[in-house]
Amino acid sequence: MKKIVLFASGSGTNAENIIKYFVQSKLGTVVAVFTNNPNAKVIERAKKYGVPTQIFSKEQLFESEVLQKINVIQPDLIVLAGFLLKFPENIIAAYPDKIINIHPALLPKYGGKGMYGMNIHNAIVANREKETGITIHFVNENYDEGNIIFQQNVVLAGDETPEEVAAKIHELEQKYFPTVIEGILNQKS
């Protein structure tokens, strides 16, 4: 059974969707959720499925404490599901091509520092984009620059609010993120 570790900072809807997806799987299972936010709703969501959570500080992430905890688990895949901190190079080096992230836009557009959540959707509406979407990519030392694994677009009518764009993106995330993770795990078999 392949081991998946999730990193999340907020409400955890993507994390919960991934946990639920792999509950019935014979391929992989979510063995831990790591969060830098002691008040994150993802903690409750993980508890509901019996998935242990690890809460850590930014200092612990960038020193070696979080890496040591990950090393104990020896995950096959680390998934950033709404994790807002830049991922540290020591973990990236220890787990090459085993860390993925989802980005709520079609990279390379709307990527980089500060481009997350509603910041992206506001920019897409302000720029009157005709489409947007999601990108699932490997994580490297630069924000949103790792090799792209998967993209899915959604056409925009041009009159959407940022909140409506966010809802369309959330639908794509919920539909595709778990299946893309499954595909990656299958390749690692």
Q: What whole-number distance in Å separates Cα of residue 127 and Cα of residue 125?
A: 5
Instruction: Check: CB of residue 34 under 8 Å from CB of residue 66.
Output: yes
Is 137 considered catalytic here?
A: no
3-state helix, strand, coil in the chain (%, to 5): 40, 20, 40
Q: What whole-number distance in Å separates Cα of residue 8 and Cα of residue 92?
A: 16
Tokens 């997350």 found at: 116
Least Cα distance to 101 among 68, 62, 149, 59 occurs for: 149
Residue 126 is encoded by which pair of tokens?
Answer: 């302000």
Give just the sign of the alpha carbon dihedral 114, 120, 122, 126.
positive
Q: Which residues are annotated as a binding site for (6R)-10-formyltetrahydrofolate?
A: 58, 101
The residue from 103, 121, 137, 170 that is catalytic is 103
Q: Which residues are annotated as a binding site?
A: 12-14, 58, 101
Q: Which residues are catalytic?
A: 103
